[in-house]
Amino acid sequence: DTAVSQTPKYLVTQMGNDKSIKCEQNLGHDTMYWYKQDSKKFLKIMFSYNNKELIINETVPNRFSPKSPDKAHLNLHINSLELGDSAVYFCASSQAEGTPLHFGNGTRLTVT
Amino acid sequence: DAKTTQPPSMDCAEGRAANLPCNHSTISGNEYVYWYRQIHSQGPQYIIHGLKNNETNEMASLIITEDRKSSTLILPHATLRDTAVYYCIVTPYSGAGSYQLTFGKGTKLSVIP
């Protein structure tokens, strides 16, 4: 009965590869987000989508491309992976502006 | 950058109340105070939020000073499962999907048996 689920939980890959992280929410929320937590444990927003439309795109390299096929899904595709991309990536959703965010349990990406 | 200041760590005895302070002296009139926590290896979990008045829910109470420059999260009876990093965040409402949470370093709360 998971509310926000991400796959995979762990992802180990080599520099230069392309990978995707999937996120699905079954809460019927309109807005979905991607956050990145770096090695210093800072959580920073990367993107937000509202009803499949991109709302926030923080200073993120264009190697990162979110894709929202429908309101319940927001996938993150990363091209040409770099060592600095190693982090934990969290997907989240919320019903509307200002309402609490529900986070997934994260995907730990390790680039070697 | 986070607009809040929190102590880096706190200890609390199991069964006692945990009082976590947060300073947000530059808070604007339209900004809310949110509290989230992150238990090890999990995603952040929403706890409570408020604007001016004190708030209480099944998890915690939020006390906001009259000048709104600081607040305290109270966990009335801390358990070992409350050991986590607690984040105090201020953010305005600014349009559908565009409000965002800026997480600082938070306070690592350790509940001790």
The pLDDT assigned to B68 comes to 95
- The β-bridge partners of B86 are B37, B107
| Torsional sign, CA A25, B56, B109, B13 | negative
The pLDDT assigned to B93 comes to 61
d(Cα B64, Cα B99) in Å, to the nearest integer?
21
Helix (H), strand (E) at residue A102: strand A102-103
CA distance A107 to chain B (A): 10
> Which of A91, A84, A64 has its CA nearest to residue A7?
A91
Q: In the predicted model, is pLDDT for residue B2 greater than 80?
A: no
* Residue A80 banded pLDDT, cuts 50, 70, 90: very high
The pLDDT assigned to A34 comes to 93
Comparing alpha-carbon positions, the chain B residue that sits nearest to A96 is: B96
d(Cα A104, Cα A89) in Å, to the nearest integer?
9
Instruction: Give the closest of B85, B94, B96 to A96, CB-based.
Output: B96
Residues B42-99 have pLDDT tens digits of: 999 999 999 898 999 999 999 999 999 999 999 999 999 999 999 999 887 654 445 6
Q: How many other C-beta atoms can be found within 10 angstroms of the C-beta atom of residue B77?
A: 10
Residues A82-107 have pLDDT tens digits of: 999 999 999 999 987 667 899 999 99
- The β-bridge partners of B48 are B35
Q: Are A10 and A88 in contact (CB under 8 A)?
A: no
Instruction: Give the closest of B42, B44, B97 to A43, CB-based.
Output: B44
The angle at the Cα of B39, spanning B35 to B44, to the nearest 5 degrees, equals 45
The pLDDT assigned to A77 comes to 96
